[in-house]
Amino acid sequence: MTIAVFFGCSFIAFGPAFALFIFTIARDPLRVIILIAGAFFWLLSLLLSSLVWFIAMKASNDKDQQLQRGLLIFGVMFSVLLQEVFRFAYYKLLRKASDGLAALSEDERSHISVQQMAYVAGLGFGIMSGAFSMINILADSLGPGIVGIHGESQYFFLTSAFMTMAVTLLHTFWGVVFFDGCENRRWWVIAVVVALHLLVSGLTFLNPIYEGSLPPAYVILVSMAVWAFFSCGGSLQNIQQFLTCWKNDAGSEVAS
Amino acid sequence: MNTSGSEEEFCNERTSLMTTESPPVSSYHVETGISSLEDTQTKGRRPITNESNNREADHEGESVERDSTADSEDEEMSLKYGAKHVIMLFVPVTLCMIVVIATIKSVSFYTEKGGQLIYTPFTEDTTSVGQRLLNSVLNTLIMISVIVVMTIFLVVLYKYRCYKFIHGWLILSSLMLLFWFSFMYLGEVFKTYNVAMDYPTLALVIWNFGAVGMVCIHWKGPLQLQQAYLIMISALMALVFIKYLPEWSAWVILGAISVYDLIAVLCPKGPLRMLVETAQERNEPIFPALIYSSAMIWMVGMTEHSAVQQPSHQETNSDEEVGQSHHDNTEDNRNMVVPETEVHGAQSRTTSAVELEEERGIKLGLGDFIFYSVLVGKASATASGDWNTTLACFVAILIGLCLTLLLLAIFKKALPALPISITFGLVFYFSTDNLVRPFMDNLAAHQFYI
């Protein structure tokens, strides 16, 4: 519960997202707006799912611990489904806006491609999801206390930070893949994304047995990263070109 | 503590959102050669939101044949510029909110109960919920009626050209903000961090801060410095409100003032709308130094500079006088665009290119800054969900601002910036605090992730 823990955990949890924001999003105003709107859509989905959970909780017996835990699990599942519904709704909105922009511009093309919008939207979802999960924990880590004093795990902050980072990046990749599936009408892709999201959230029910939740989440993260890379046009050839050109031109970087 | 009335009034010009326009063509042109060039330039670069009746009148003659081709270009330009303008407002609003939140979280002075303003005389320390609600509604009624009276007073003063009066009031209120409130703020920060400070150093610092602020806001200064000062005084004002408005009254006042903003700016007889229209009739920019402006007019070409500076400078001086009304003046100060800085920016361009470029910007009233920050600050001060609620309100306000700017791009006239953002902010505050917080707390306790 020191400054070191605070900074360490915040950098672990938000470092990649922050870097992605600074290097790819901050310069383009349209992307910033799409990012914030994505965060807003995630927030809406959270609001609705909390409402449902709250009603269910209030309507049930307060004292029954098992029931409350069951309701919480139901709340989590419902929230995941609602997040994906809102992701789809955001896709529809962006599509319409993109078509509008393209119609108005001179060469009938939009300034921003669907893949870029998918990436930014996914990152928006991820940043908001991570922030809501982690910020209160980070604020608490600055104050006095001993982690796990009653016998719980002493790695609470660290595992929260790693899980937050995983979830943030996962949302980004899911966004890319999801939008790609919607664009090309491949509905099985959407089903897989929803299933994976449910899986990752479901695995967190195993906490504090962190071996059950963190490594699988990271395995899924890596596979999603590869899938997203290939779905938006990347290939082994691209990577090769990127690396060789980079070595050849000392000063310049070639985007693949 | 009963503070004096001045700084409590709101100048509602602050709460309207409008686009800037460069000064009318006629005042610029010294040579006809340049004027025709500028006409063609400006034809191709109409601003997103257009209050430029003047400009259009000047261009009518030349614009007829270019209308059809220019229209689609304009639309595209306006959408391209649209995103940039949204970000130009996101950044200062975010900065103001960050300053307020950081102060609320660290300096406990602004969350301690320290009495109430004379505009909210009814106390909220009552026994029953109904009584408390009644008191807060009464407080709101008093506050809003004070605002309405002051706004109408301002419009009357402006209509009858009592510029000196307005000018004096504006200077008085910005003096109070820049010297007295910042002295108090600094004092509280030093107390919080237990920093030893002697009076001579403090006097020097406050004197420099205040004097440069007065110069920047009311006269000329670098655009970014002026923007920084406007943000700082908005934050100071918001902190005062957060401290002295009782809880329930604050929320009801926020709701009521967005309704009032809607009425005042959109209704044909609304005071703010009359203000905007009068200013447009007289070809004067509205209330310099009371509106945050992100624009800078770039005039390129050496010969035009001196000729251009003079007329617009005089114009802005008179506008400045107009802009001074009440203590809100400080807000007025905030709300006003300072054409001087635009002029000043032009002065700094000493290249000798022939083209006349304009970067159109966007204006946001300082009252909007203040009330956004009050909402977010109150959310972070009183919400038990702490950071989640603050974050939710922050995102809600930004999205409301985005939507308002979208409407501005569509309707192209002055719009109230408060209603949508404050509505979103209030909805998200109450729902996050009561619904999302227990959910997220439970999830965090079990380390479930959604």
Question: What is the ipTM, given to two decimal places?
Answer: 0.92
pLDDT band at A94 (very low <50, low <70, confident <90, very high): very high
Confirm or reject contact between A131 and chain B (CB < 8 A): yes
Closest CA to B80 of A25, A117, A28: A28
What six digits make up the tokens of B140? 């709101």
pLDDT higher than threshold 60 for residue B235: yes
pLDDT band at B52 (very low <50, low <70, confident <90, very high): very low
Residue B403: other Cβ atoms inside 10 A: 15
CB contact under 8 A, A46 and B442: no
Is residue B58 part of the annotated active site? The answer reads no
What integer is the mean pLDDT of B85-113? 92
Task: Determine if the peptide bond prior to B419 is cis (ω within 30°).
Answer: no
* Beta strands in B118-173, from DSSP E residues, in sequence order: none
Residues A123 and A38 sit within 8 Å (Cβ to Cβ) = yes
What six digits make up the tokens of B137? 């509604």
Confirm or reject contact between B447 and chain A (CB < 8 A): yes
Residues B13 and B150 sit within 8 Å (Cβ to Cβ) = no
What is the structure's pLDDT at B16?
A: 60
For residues A185 and B223, what is the distance between their CA atoms, to the nearest angstrom?
Answer: 50
What integer is the mean pLDDT of B84-90? 89
Quote the Cα angle for A11-A149-B105, to 5°: 50
Q: Which of A114-123, A137-146, A244-253, B183-192 is predicted least confidently?
A: A244-253
Q: Which of B58, B74, B261, B433 is catalytic?
A: B261
CB contact under 8 A, A32 and B87: yes
Confirm or reject contact between B395 and chain A (CB < 8 A): yes
CB contact under 8 A, A37 and B438: no
CA of A48 vs chain B CAs: smallest distance (Å): 9
Residues A37 and B399 sit within 8 Å (Cβ to Cβ) = yes
Q: For chain B, what is the mean pLDDT?
A: 75
Confirm or reject contact between B436 and chain A (CB < 8 A): yes
Confirm or reject contact between B84 and chain A (CB < 8 A): yes
B292 phi and psi, to 5 degrees? Answer: -75, 125
Within 8 A of B388 by CB-CB distance, chain A residues are 132, 135-136
What six digits make up the tokens of A256? 């693949």
Show which of residues 187-206 on chain A sit within 8 Å of chain B, judged by CB atoms. Answer: 200-201, 204-205
Interchain CB contacts (distance < 8 Å): A and B: 122
pLDDT band at B384 (very low <50, low <70, confident <90, very high): confident
Q: Which of B71, B391, B430, B439 to mutate to test the interface with A (most CBs of A within 10 A)?
A: B439
Q: Which of B30-39, B77-86, B154-163, B440-449 is predicted least confidently?
A: B30-39
* Closest chain A CA to residue B402: A33
Within 8 A of A106 by CB-CB distance, chain B residues are 72-73, 76
The pLDDT tens digits for B257-292 are 999 999 999 998 888 888 888 888 888 876 666 788
pLDDT band at A121 (very low <50, low <70, confident <90, very high): very high
* Closest chain A CA to residue B77: A105
What integer is the mean pLDDT of A134-158? 88
Confirm or reject contact between B403 and chain A (CB < 8 A): no
Confirm or reject contact between B101 and chain A (CB < 8 A): no
* Closest chain B CA to residue A206: B448
Is residue B74 part of the annotated active site? The answer reads no
Q: Across-strand partners of B416?
A: B16
Within 8 A of A197 by CB-CB distance, chain B residues are none
pTM of the model: 0.80
Question: Which of A36, A49, A133 is the closest to B444 by Cβ?
Answer: A133
Question: Which of A29, A132, A164 is the closest to B87 by Cβ?
Answer: A29
Secondary structure class of A145 (helix, strand, coil): coil
What integer is the mean pLDDT of B147-174? 89
Q: Which of B319, B328, B332, B368 is catalytic?
A: B368
Confirm or reject contact between A43 and chain B (CB < 8 A): yes
pLDDT band at B187 (very low <50, low <70, confident <90, very high): very high
CB contact under 8 A, B448 and A160: no
CA of A239 vs chain B CAs: smallest distance (Å): 33
pLDDT band at A104 (very low <50, low <70, confident <90, very high): low
pLDDT band at A188 (very low <50, low <70, confident <90, very high): very high
What is the structure's pLDDT at B357?
A: 43
CB contact under 8 A, B447 and A156: yes
The pLDDT tens digits for B308-337 are 333 333 333 333 333 333 334 333 333 332
CA of A81 vs chain B CAs: smallest distance (Å): 10
pLDDT band at A107 (very low <50, low <70, confident <90, very high): low
CA B186 centroid distance within chain: 23
CA of B26 vs chain A CAs: smallest distance (Å): 32
Q: Count Cβ atoms within 10 A of the Cβ of residue A255 and give its class: 0-12 exposed, 13-18 middle, 19 or more buried.
A: exposed
What integer is the mean pLDDT of B357-367? 75
Q: Which of A54, A83, A168 to mutate to test the interface with B (most CBs of B within 10 A)?
A: A54
pLDDT higher than threshold 90 for residue B6: no
pLDDT higher than threshold 90 for residue B55: no
Closest CA to B436 of B400, B376, B391, B381: B391
Residues B25 and B339 sit within 8 Å (Cβ to Cβ) = no
Question: Which of B87, B428, B449 is the closest to A204 by Cβ?
Answer: B449
For residues B398 and A34, what is the distance between their CA atoms, to the nearest angstrom?
Answer: 12
pLDDT higher than threshold 80 for residue B43: no
CB contact under 8 A, B80 and A46: no
CB contact under 8 A, A32 and B431: no
Confirm or reject contact between B90 and chain A (CB < 8 A): yes
Within 8 A of B402 by CB-CB distance, chain A residues are 33, 36-37
What is the structure's pLDDT at B313?
A: 34
Residue B430: other Cβ atoms inside 10 A: 14
| Conformation bin of residue B6: beta by default, left when phi > 0, alpha when psi is -120 to 50 | alpha
CB contact under 8 A, B443 and A133: yes
The DSSP code for B228 is H
Confirm or reject contact between A207 and chain B (CB < 8 A): yes
CB contact under 8 A, A29 and B84: yes
Question: Which of A73, A132, A204 is the closest to B447 by Cβ?
Answer: A204
What is the structure's pLDDT at B37?
A: 37
Show which of residues 154-183 on chain A sit within 8 Å of chain B, judged by CB atoms. Answer: 156, 159-160, 163-164, 167
Comparison of pLDDT for B191 and B78, the residue scoring more: B191
Question: Which of B84, B396, B449 is the closest to A167 by Cβ?
Answer: B449
What is the structure's pLDDT at B46?
A: 33
Within 8 A of A160 by CB-CB distance, chain B residues are 444, 447
Within 8 A of B431 by CB-CB distance, chain A residues are 47, 50-51
Q: Across-strand partners of B292?
A: B364
Q: For chain A, what is the mean pLDDT?
A: 90
